[in-house]
Amino acid sequence: MHFKLIIALTEDTITDKVVDAAREKGATGSTVISSARGEGLQVTKTFLGLSLDTQRDVILLLVEEHMSRDILETIEAAGEFEANPGSGIAFSIDVDDAVGVSQQVNKLSALVEDEI
């Protein structure tokens, strides 16, 4: 079984919404790294030297490759990334190998059996 790692960078206010949507679409788990900082096209605004930007979270999802595009699109829709520029981005990268995922493999095998 092959996996992809979906990485989503979101405003902390929509993290739970994005994770819940990904799980409903078939993601078997997630890791959230809180309080990340980032900058896009717009430079972060400051007031008296204090940053006014919102906190970001990094969401990591190890998903089966055949499910990755649907989950990625679901994350975008849940987070409204295209509708609200600056609210977040998500992308996937190939994973060469993974260990410690035998329970996920057992569950996912039945779901993607026809596509493998």
- For residue range 52-82, list pLDDT tens digits in order: 566 789 999 999 999 999 999 999 999 999 9
In a domain, 27, yes or no: yes
Q: Contact at 8 Å (CB) between 98 and 4? A: no
Given a cut of 70, is residue 112 above it in pLDDT? Answer: no
CATH of the domain at 37: 3.30.70.120
Domain membership flag for residue 89:
yes
The answer to the question of residue 38 being in a domain is yes
Q: Give the whole-angstrom CA distance, residue 39 versus residue 78.
A: 21
Look up residue 30 and give its DSSP letter: -
For residue 116, being part of any structural domain is answered with no
Q: Give me the percent of the chain exceeding a pLDDT of 90.
A: 53
CA distance 116 to 112: 6
Compute the radius of gyration of the chain from its Cα atoms: 16
Give a yes or no: residue 43 inside a domain.
yes
What is the span of the domain harbouring residue 65? Answer: 3-111
Residue type, 74: T
Number of domains comprising the chain: 1
pLDDT of residue 50: 60
pLDDT digits (tens, 9 = 90+) for 5-44: 999 999 989 999 999 999 999 998 899 999 887 666 666 5
